[in-house]
Amino acid sequence: MNRAPLYVPADAHHYCVADHPFTITFVDYEHGERLLPSFKPFLTGSGHADELLFSLIVDDKTQPVPKAERRRIRDFDTGNGVTIVDKLNDGGYQFIIKNINGADCCLLITDKEFRSCRCALNGNWLMRSFGLNNAVMLIYAFAGAFHDTVLMHASVARQHGYGYAFIAKSGTGKSTQVSNWLRYLPDCELMNDDNPVVRVIDNQCFIYGSPWSGKTPCYRNIKAPLGAVTRIDRAEANSVEHLDVTTAFASLLPSVSSMKWDKMNYEKICHTLAKIIEHTEIYILHCLPDRNSAEVCNSVIGKQKD
């Protein structure tokens, strides 16, 4: 894909997540990068503007797009607040990110490919940090869709050099399963506990740590080949089932950030999921939250380092 270079101010902060570089520029902020403490491991030196995934300018003078130039898509409850989405007449988007108390924290405006973005923050330092963190995560997820990249709601353990992603509805036990891997299985470490990044590169799948890890402060700039993706299903006995292509797709789709109302973006995400399924084993673990479940799962899906 031939892309025009993005405008990058000289004082931009350069980051790289899952080998995707991007920049954030703070206008009239002293030490604005401190709004994103979990991003510190992902700070890098300057890069080339034509290689950037996106560029974001944080400028509190940014104004909403006139109502005549946008239409409401819907309001989304994210679990820790509400995000209001408007589609712009030029194909871009406007988002208003609210916290759990319903307060406006961030106004975000993007182009249609989420490459050139601008936002305004509002409220106290905590509100601004919340708004900016969510804005960057949103931009990253949807810009990544154009590059065989998905942000996956999962907990990830790395063993023998491979990353194993566990997906499930919130509260079902993915973090518990990973915790049991770390506690009872050899050579295991936590890569991320909420939102790792999965990329397909030259028909191989890789999983990465990210600045987004939920309630567990695990912000690691690390990478591993994706060993498997396993969906957790509470049961009365421990067993592992390999999923066929159709069931695997139905299991993965709810676990990745997507925009079903945006045909182009959604199709690209679905295409990436199809590649992941083609090159990675997808399982379901019927389990109790115990040591044996980790051992049974590991015996089926585990790989030895080459």
Residue 255, Cβ density class (10 Å: 0-12 exposed, 13-18 middle, ≥19 buried): buried
| Rounded CA separation 273/131 (Å) | 28
The residue ranges of every structural domain in the chain are 13-147, 150-301
What pLDDT shows up at residue 81?
93
Under DSSP, is residue 73 helix (H, G, I), strand (E, B) or coil?
Answer: strand
What would the two tokens of residue 270 be? Answer: 């679905």
Residue 236 burial by Cβ neighbours in a 10 Å radius (0-12, 13-18, 19+): exposed
Q: Which residues of 261-285 are buried (b: 16+ CB within 10 A; e: fewer)?
A: ebeebeebbbebbebbbeebbbbbb
Please give the CATH number for the structural domain made up of 150-301: 3.40.50
Count CB neighbours of 161 within 10 A.
13
Instruction: Report the pLDDT value the prediction gives residue 47, as an integer from 0 to 100.
Output: 67
Q: Residue 49's pLDDT is what?
A: 63
- Assess contact for 152 and 168: CB atoms under 8 A: no
User: What CA dihedral angle connects 140, 142, 147 and 150, to 10 degrees?
Assistant: 80
- Please state, in angstroms and rounded to a whole number, the distance separating the CA atoms of residues 213 and 79: 15
Going from the C-alpha of 7 to that of each of 38, 49, 137, 158, the distances in angstroms are 25, 7, 21, 37
Tally the residues of the chain.
Answer: 306
Cα-based angle 234, 239, 245 (whole degrees, multiple of 5):
90
The tens-digit pLDDT sequence of the chain (306 residues) is: 556 778 888 899 999 999 999 999 999 998 999 999 999 999 998 766 668 999 999 999 999 999 999 999 999 988 889 999 999 999 999 999 999 999 999 999 999 999 999 999 999 999 999 999 999 999 999 999 999 999 999 999 999 999 999 999 877 889 999 999 999 999 999 999 999 999 999 999 999 999 999 889 999 999 999 999 999 999 999 999 999 999 999 999 999 988 888 999 999 999 999 999 999 999 999 999 999 999 999 999 998 665
pLDDT for res 2: 56
What residue ranges in 148-203 does DSSP mark as E strands?
149-151, 155-159, 162-167, 188-192, 197-201
pLDDT at 70: 97
> According to the model, what pLDDT value does residue 306 have?
56
Helix (H) or strand (E) holding 300: helix 291-301
* φ/ψ of residue 132, rounded to 5: -70, -45
CA dist 124 and 86 (Å) reads 25
